[in-house]
Chains A and B, each alone.
Chain A
Amino acid sequence: MRRTGRVLRAAALALALPCLLVAVWWLASDSSTSFYAPPLRTILGRFDDTWTPDRLRDDVLPSVLRLLAGYAVAGVAGVGLGIVIGASRRTRAVCEPALEFLRAVPPPVLVPVIMLFAGIGDTMKITVIASGCVWPVLLNTAAGVRAVDEVAADTARSYGVTGPARLRHLVLPAASPQIFAGLRQALSIGVILMVISEMYASSSGLGFAVVEFQRSFAVPEMWTGILVLGLLGVALSVLFRIVERRALGWYHGSRGARRKAGGGGA
């Protein structure tokens, strides 16, 4: 019973500010006569008609699939390269300056370049998403791999845990808190790049839909598109947190145990 109460209170706390913001928007815009900023009432009134099942299938689904594909590519490549780079001091020294440069290039400027090579189809969009998402994953993985505990590494070595087993049982789990931090950053970058890649030469997707509404002066519909994007972001973030809680249960548990012990001990 107490647990349910706590969950309810947490939910109430989390929802309080969004509700307030919606209320403020609603009241402030209610008497708006501006063509570009219609009342929230009007925007929500158009929501159902705009985001029909057909449109969800034709615009939202392709967007999400491209995002997931690009994100997956970035995840695999970022973790893989991060392990290679983090494992040896020499590769790190060689790669670091180049990595800093590549990371500093804002991913959206790559869209025109990638279009030249990959055309304007799904490949281009997935490449854009992957090329932006890969950096936080890579850099965080490399940092996590570098920080593998010395005693843990000695233990693995003295018990003959080497090669692929070492990677699986020591390096990846030890780096996983950092890997997840990178994946979290990558997710928000991915959503941004998903929209941007669809604003260039495209015929479907959420970004395309928003631009299309704007160009045809369907202003309330454009606003609904932005709301859909926001909701998609929230849904992905909640999903991510659920996965992270499961994968890093040991990490949060051990940190909690250490805090309870007063920061001392092991």
Chain B
Amino acid sequence: MLEVKGLRKVYEGSGRRVEALRDLTFRLDAGELVCVVGPSGCGKTTLLKCVAGLLAPTEGSVTLDGVPVTGPRPGLAVVFQEYGRSLFPWMRVTENVELPLRQRKMPRDARRARVSEALDAVGLGDVGRAYPWELSGGMQQRVAIARALAYEPDVLLMDEPFAAVDAQTRADLEDLVRGLWRRRGMTVLFVTHDIDEAVYLGERVLVLSPSPTVVREEVVVELPAERDQLTTRADVRFTGLRSRVLGLIRDGGGAADQVSKAGRSGSGSDS
């Protein structure tokens, strides 16, 4: 499915070399929801851009269904953190959602149907005529999600999509994403810096190290598929998992060493 192998990214500019990603290897099976969590500045956005084909890796490869990703491709949609800049302010909500479909030369009626279905799916069936900037932040991010849904991707990439909305909206959007994932069965790679969010949403959590970045640990989230903001977050398994991820991020190598000593397979301990 989606396979990242030995991914390395070095930015070079004006005499400075910044190694954003050192060596990342992981794979996502079809229909999996995997969260990537790591300390700020560890290159999460760089990783996502490489997977999306927006950035060329310095070394290593990204393959999707066995085909190397060398540029943006259909079947792969991205939801960015900055919804206010990702939605075009000169287009109404429907036009924003419709634009990628127009580009695919989809017939008009099919396009319209797909757009209104996607807007309904995110609970925004009645704001199609509005401009994005007339909506609240949470609603704007819903529009961006609707645009990705209408594109009907096999793989959905989300880059800290809820970092800029308030807590209540954030909880609603998390449930929305999980619900959509379960109904539509697409593969989701969800990047976040929020450990609770990663554990709550994911089937697996990839924990990244600080820069230069490697995958420190893959944590399997053994929680029931049916999740709920109240009961799941109070579940001892949830709190146990979040403490473990927090430990991995906070104490860095130390915790990871302990974990590998305890017999778990820790990947990328070359630091």
Contacts and interface: CB of A to CB of B under 8 A. Distances in A.
Interface of A: 149-152, 154-155, 157-161, 165, 169-170, 173-174, 176, 250-251, 253-254, 257-258, 265-266
A266 B140 contact: yes
A151 to B, nearest CB: 4
A62 B71 CA distance: 54
Interface string B85-107: 11011110000000110111000
Given A169-B88, A174-B90, A250-B90, 10 more contacts: A151-B82, A152-B85, A152-B88, A158-B53, A158-B72, A159-B77, A159-B103, A159-B147, A161-B103, A257-B133
B76 interface: yes
Contacts, number: 77
Interface in B49-72: 49, 52-54, 72
Contacts of B82: 151, 266
A146 B78 CA distance: 24
A246 to B, nearest CB: 12
A113 B53 CA distance: 53
Nearest to A166: B103
Interface residues of B, number: 32
B99 A266 contact: no
10 contacts: A149-B85, A150-B85, A157-B54, A158-B76, A159-B77, A161-B100, A253-B134, A266-B83, A266-B137, A266-B164
Given A155-B78, A253-B131, A161 B90 contact: no
A160 B100 CA distance: 7
Contacts of B78: 154-155, 158
A-B CB proximity, top 4 nearest: A266-B84, A159-B100, A151-B85, A254-B133
Contacts of B100: 159-161
Nearest to B102: A165
B80 interface: yes
B151 interface: yes
A265 B76 contact: no
B74 interface: yes
A158 B52 contact: yes
Nearest to A247: B90
Interface in B108-123: none
B103 A265 contact: no
Interface in B4-38: none
A158 B147 CA distance: 12
A266 B83 CA distance: 7
A97 B140 CA distance: 42
Contacts of B52: 158
Contact of B99 (A151, A169, A265): A169
B86 A159 contact: no
Contacts of B76: 158
A159 B76 CA distance: 8
A173 B133 contact: no
Contact of A265 (B102, B134, B147, B164): B164
B54 A154 contact: yes
A36 to B, nearest CB: 52
A159 B91 CA distance: 16
Contacts of A158: 52-54, 72, 76-78
B188 to A, nearest CB: 15
B89 A254 contact: yes
B80 A154 contact: yes
B134 A155 contact: no
A212 to B, nearest CB: 48
A250 B89 contact: yes
A155 B86 contact: yes
B133 A160 contact: no
Interface in B123-151: 131, 133-134, 137, 140, 147, 151
A154 B77 CA distance: 11
Q: Which of A173, A258, A265 has the most CB of B within 10 A?
A: A265
B96 to A, nearest CB: 10
A160 B89 contact: no
Contacts of A169: 88, 91, 99
B86 A151 contact: yes
A165 B88 contact: no
A170 B131 contact: no
A170 B88 contact: yes
Contacts of A251: 89-90
A155 B49 CA distance: 11
B133 A258 contact: yes
Nearest to B80: A151
Nearest to A169: B99
A180 B183 CA distance: 46
B163 to A, nearest CB: 12
B74 A160 contact: yes
A155 B72 contact: no
B34 to A, nearest CB: 19
Nearest to B83: A266
